[in-house]
Amino acid sequence: MLKATNISKAFGATQALDGVSITLQPGEIHGLIGENGAGKSTLVKTLCGVHRLDAGKIEVGGASIAGWSPEIAIASGLITVHQDVNLIETMSVAENIFLNAEIKRGPFLDQKAMAIEAQHLLDTLKLEISPQTVLGSLPTDLRKMVQLARAMRQKPQVLLLDEPTSSLTAVEVGILIAQVKSIAATGVSVLYISHYLNEVFEHTQSLTILRDGKMAWQGATADIRLSEAIRTMIGGALRTSEKVDAAGKQLGDPVLEVRKLSLGHRLSDISFDIRPGEVLGIGGLIGAGLGDLARTIFADPEYRATSGDILMDGEAVQWDSPADAMDAGVGLVTNDRHRTGAIVDFSIADNIGLPSLNRFSNRLGVIKSSALKSEVETQMRQLSVKATGPLAALSTLSGGNQQKVMLAKWFMTNPRVLILDEPTIGVDIGAKQSIKELIVEKAAEGCAVIILTSEMEELAEIADRALVLFRGRIVARLDEPGFSQEDLTNAANASFEPNSLTLETENSVETTS
């Protein structure tokens, strides 16, 4: 049904795909897995025409197609459900399902017919929402299900699913997978891309593993064990924590404690503590709830905890806003510097100084510009931010230097607790190493650092202890030094096969070895 041969794609000097080939048979569910940056999403976007391939050939139904584009892909029956919801929030559910494929009666849109068919699709997916509901009023998980309804309505021959279950509840995952199987049973080929390896191994017939833009393994899913697949994904250079046992550091009493924190169905009974000078890693897959946890702790009003407690220095706190968290000495580097972490058209100095303006203002609110500029320059020097000067616009910096500015912004507040949500996202290898060194140095100064990331290599390299989330719950605690990248990846995929790992179940905590 689909045959892609020797697909290559580069972005500048970065070779995202290098000679990747994949074949999908009618009615087959084919899994595609790999670590972050392995090339999975690039392959999907190339197959569906979003990216123009540099080399290779794509055939659908045995016919070679030239001039590949999104329009040609859709006309050929190749339909994609992207990882990010790409629907129109101001339109209704029905309007999104039928967008660019509306039912007409003469020159007019047949709104009644579209509403009836949309309702049938929603009922099939067991979604209790009205076709007239404005899409923007729905949570992300329901928007993703609407994307699937739209894909089903387009009657695909080949269905590309990029992380389809990343933000769904367990019940919704079951419904979606049942629908995918029923679609495949009609002869549709499905390419199933997911970080949730347990789902891939349970529901696919064949498998391709990507590593660094190349095929690392390909064959029947039954021919490889999950643990072997993980080692193939990661490659030979496994990182293992060699940090000193946190208990041996005499770190003192916890500065921050989280007790049974919940956020609707997105987070459930999260508990942990952290001491001054400690690096606590919290890992998980995309959609595990890492960003939700970071923003809930930081008192983001849109992520207000539905139950649970937060303690500072042993005393329960009631923070109503991020300002309250900041006053208590907590900082947050978000996972999206362009949308929630920075004002990219402002200067470096403005961005770094923003959370610290009270320190550099007199009683009338007038900013002491020279003192602020001097401190900003000190931060830029200490973090090796490469720029023409503090007045340069943040948008003129590379991704790595922009991320260093985000760190400098919070370093200058002298935080007692620093929460880092995907701190090395979107930066090159050199910048990643520099940022990791800065994090370790900050902890050495006595700051309690919490790193939330899907990059298991980072946690294995710099965390003193680690937790792993799976669908909003803690499923593993690694409190002893020596845990590995493989241990973390196994736990994140709910495929517990580590050498020594403490696992949490709903009713108990048990140790396996």
- Residue 367 included in any domain: yes
Same structural domain, 122 and 219: yes
369: Cβ contacts below 8 Å, ≥ 6 apart? none
pLDDT digit string, tens, across residues 443-472: 999 999 999 998 888 888 899 999 999 889
Torsion angles phi and psi, residue 158, rounded to 5: -130, 125
Q: What is the spatial distance between Cα 218 and Cα 208, in angstroms, rounded to a whole number? A: 4
Domain that holds residue 427: 246-329+415-512
Q: Is the pLDDT of residue 405 over 80?
A: yes
φ, ψ of residue 224 in degrees (nearest 5):
-140, 135
- How far apart are alpha carbons 480 and 280 in whole angstroms? 12
Long-range CB contact pairs, 213-219, < 8 A, 24+:
213/15, 213/16, 213/17, 213/18, 213/20, 213/38, 213/39, 213/42, 214/18, 214/19, 214/20, 214/39, 215/19, 215/20, 215/21, 216/34, 218/22
pLDDT one-digit tens code per residue, 356-366: 888 888 888 88
Of 188, 147, 150, the residue nearest 164 (C-alpha): 147
pLDDT attached to residue 243: 54
Do 154 and 262 fall into the same domain? no
Name the pLDDT band for 238 (thresholds 50, 70, 90). Answer: low
Query: Are 126 and 270 in a shared domain?
Result: no
| 109 and 133 both lie in a single domain | yes
**Residue 250: phi, psi to the nearest 5?**
55, 60
The tokens describing 243, both together, are 């940090």
- As a residue count, the chain comes to 513
- Contact call for residues 419 and 341 (beta carbons, < 8 A): no
Q: Is the pLDDT of residue 224 over 80?
A: yes
Position 342 in a domain = no
Considering the domain boundaries, does residue 239 fall inside one?
A: no
pLDDT tens for each residue of 178-191: 889 988 999 999 99
List pLDDT tens digits, range 490-511.
888 764 443 434 555 433 334 3
Question: Do 494 and 422 fall within a single domain?
Answer: yes
Both 16 and 134 in one domain: the answer is: yes
Q: What is the pLDDT of residues 331-386, one digit of tens each?
A: 999 988 878 888 988 999 999 999 988 888 888 888 888 888 899 999 999 888 88
Q: Does 507 lie in the same domain as 419?
A: yes
Q: Which of 212, 234, 256 is the last residue of a domain?
A: 234
Measured distance CA(108)–CA(83) in Å, rounded: 33
pLDDT grade, residue 421 (50/70/90)?
A: very high
Helix (H, G, I), strand (E, B) or coil at 141: helix
> What angle do the packed helices 226-234 and 485-492 form, to 10 degrees?
130
Name the percent of the chain lying above pLDDT 70: 91
Structure tokens, 461: 């390299």
Residues 193 and 293 in one domain: no
Alpha-carbon separation of residue 210 from 49, 80, 82, 219, 443 (angstroms)? 20, 19, 18, 12, 35
Whole-number pLDDT of residue 109: 92
Query: What mean pLDDT is reported for the chain?
Result: 86
The reply to whether 399 falls in a domain is yes
My answer on whether 207 and 277 are in the same domain is no
Residue 250's pLDDT band, with cuts at 50, 70 and 90, is low
CA-based diameter of the chain, in Å? 78
Tens-digit pLDDT profile for residues 279-333 = 999 998 877 889 999 999 999 998 999 999 999 999 999 999 999 999 999 999 9
With a cut of 50, say whether residue 108 has pLDDT above it: yes
pLDDT above 70: residue 247: no
In a domain, 336, yes or no: no
pLDDT digits (tens, 9 = 90+) for 111-120: 999 999 999 9
The residues, any chain, with a CB within 8 Å of residue 401's CB and separated by 6 or more, are 385, 386, 387, 431
Q: What is the pLDDT of residues 260-272, one digit of tens each?
A: 999 998 899 999 9
Looking at the structure, tell me whether residues 225 and 265 fall in a common domain. Answer: no
Domain CATH for 254: 3.40.50.300
Q: What is the pLDDT of residues 126-160, one digit of tens each?
A: 888 999 999 988 877 788 889 989 998 988 999 99
Distance, CA of 45 to CA of 265 (rounded, Å): 31
Residue 402: in which H helix or E strand, if any? Answer: helix 399-411
SS (H, E, C) 164-191: CCCCCCHHHHHHHHHHHHHHHHCCCEEE
* pLDDT at site 508: 37
Cα 417 from Cα 263, distance rounded (Å): 21
Paired strand residues for 108: 105
Is the residue at 282 inside a domain? Answer: yes
In this prediction, residue 176 has a pLDDT band, given cuts at 50, 70 and 90, of confident
Residues 406 and 420 in one domain: no
Residue 102 lies in a domain: yes
Number of helical (H) and strand (E) elements in the chain, helices listed first: 16, 24
Instruction: Check whether residue 440 and residue 360 sit in a common domain.
Output: no
- Choosing from 413, 439, 469, the residue where a domain stops is 413
User: Is 8 within the bounds of a domain?
Assistant: yes
Answer with the one of 213, 234, 255 that is the final residue of a domain. Answer: 234
- 279-284 and 448-453: which strand pairing? parallel
pLDDT, residue 435, reads 86
Q: Average pLDDT of 45-67?
A: 88
The answer to whether 210 and 478 are in contact (CB under 8 A) is: no
**Domains identified in the chain, total number:** 3
- 8 A C-beta contact, residue 410 and residue 355: yes
Q: What is the rounded CA–CA span in Å between residue 89 and residue 92?
A: 8
- The candidate with the shortest Cα–Cα distance to 34, out of 198, 233, 200, is 233
Q: What is the pLDDT of residue 497?
A: 40
Q: How many Cα atoms within 13 Å fall on the side-chain side of residue 511?
A: 6
> Which value, in Å, is the radius of gyration of the alpha carbons in the chain?
24
